[in-house]
């Protein structure tokens, strides 16, 4: 097993690869109408769960980009294997640009949305100041994320007005963390002796401990943010 397989194995039965689900997007996009056949781009789309959900509501002209995209076809959607940071896309050409738990900064998302279009960002934030022991376990620094209030303000310098912000609930986090770890442990039990298994199990246990014992449950937040791009961007 390669390190690059770990996340895929841990997310085995998780279509959405984070502490959110269809109801999160239902609430986030409630009332934000997309035009028929909307042009949608999802950078770091994972299995394409968000695009699949959008396509189930109304026809879209969608593109999903990921280093390891899902393989199940989605009507009206092209899933592309590639680096989202360098994926060539025309500026100001999308009705909705998304990046959830992935790598794209708000500036790039804003540049790709058409004036009056929507930007959907999902990103971590600090629910409370992180303890050093937690930062060490996460291999992160305090500057890697913002607190809640500055998170709400990240769109403004890019001509984006916040429509709605939805923090993941502790219940969503608990479900996500428990499922992710259980998937890893089940895989390990089913593949005894596989090369690399001990390192994989160590990674799973470290993640579980980080969440349950080192303060992750109260510290790490996740927010879905929906912005509308101003008609006359600065």
Ligand X SMILES: C[S@@+](CC[C@H](N)C(=O)[O-])C[C@H]1O[C@@H](n2cnc3c(N)ncnc32)[C@H](O)[C@@H]1O
Backbone angles phi, psi at 12, to 5 degrees: -45, -55
Binds ligand X by CB under 6 A, chosen from 85, 186, 205, 209 = 85
> Quick check: 180 binds ligand X (CB under 6 A)?
no
- For residues 144 and 125, give the distance between their C-alpha atoms in angstroms, rounded to a whole number: 9
Interface with ligand X (CB under 6 A), residue from 6, 29, 34, 44? 44
User: Is there a contact between 70 and 47 (Cβ–Cβ < 8 Å)?
Assistant: yes
Q: Which residue's CB is nearer to ligand X, number 159 or number 180? A: 180
Whichever of 4 and 141 has its CB closer to ligand X, that residue is 4
Residue 145 or 159 having the CB closest to ligand X:
145
Minimal distance in Å, beta carbon 86 to ligand X? 8
12 binds ligand X (CB under 6 A): no
80 is a site residue for ligand X (CB under 6 A):
no
One residue of 68, 78, 186, 209 binding ligand X per CB under 6 A: 68
End-to-end CA distance of the chain: 48
Counting contacts by CB under 6 A, is residue 233 touching ligand X? no
CB 89 within 8 Å of CB 62: no
Q: Name 98's bridge partners.
A: 42, 120
DSSP state, residue 176: H
Q: Which is nearer to ligand X, 120 or 159 (CB)?
A: 120
Where are the extended beta strands (E) located within the chain?
A: 38-43, 60-66, 77-81, 94-100, 113-126, 160-167, 220-229
The residues, ordered by sequence, that sit 6+ positions from 119 with a Cβ below 8 Å of its Cβ are 96, 97, 98, 106, 109, 110, 113, 155, 160, 226, 227, 228, 229
Q: Please tell me whether residue 3 binds ligand X under the rule CB under 6 A.
A: no
Q: Select from 19, 46, 124, 159 the one that contacts ligand X (CB under 6 A).
A: 46
> Does residue 133 belong to the site contacting ligand X (CB under 6 A)?
no
Q: State the binding string over 89-118 for ligand X (x if CB under 6 A, else -).
A: -----------xxxx---------------
Question: Which residues are at the interface with ligand X (CB under 6 A)?
Answer: 16-18, 44-46, 49, 65-68, 83-85, 100-103
């Amino acid at each position: 097993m390669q390190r690059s397989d770990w996340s895929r194995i841990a997310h085995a039965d998780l279509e959405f690869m984070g502490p959110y689900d269809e109801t999160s997007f239902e609430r986030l996009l409630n009332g934000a109408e997309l035009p028929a056949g909307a042009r949608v781009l999802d950078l770091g789309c994972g299995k394409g769960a968000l695009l699949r959900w959008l396509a189930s509501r109304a026809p879209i002209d969608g593109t999903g980009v990921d280093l390891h995209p899902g393989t199940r076809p989605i009507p009206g959607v092209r899933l592309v294997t590639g680096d989202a940071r360098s994926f060539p896309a025309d500026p100001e050409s999308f009705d909705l640009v998304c990046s959830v738990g992935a790598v794209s900064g708000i500036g790039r998302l804003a540049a790709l949305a058409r004036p009056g279009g929507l930007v959907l960002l999902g990103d971590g934030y600090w629910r409370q100041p992180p303890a050093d022991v937690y930062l060490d376990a996460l291999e992160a620094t305090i500057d890697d994320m913002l607190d809640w209030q500055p998170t709400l303000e990240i769109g403004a310098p890019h001509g984006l007005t916040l429509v709605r912000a939805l923090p993941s609930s502790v219940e969503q986090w608990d479900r996500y963390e428990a499922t992710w770890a259980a998937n890893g442990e089940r895989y390990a039990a089913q593949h005894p002796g596989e090369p690399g298994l001990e390192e994989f199990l160590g990674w799973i246990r470290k993640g579980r401990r980080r969440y349950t014992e080192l303060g992750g449950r109260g510290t790490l937040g996740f927010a879905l943010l929906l912005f509308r791009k101003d008609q006359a961007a600065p």
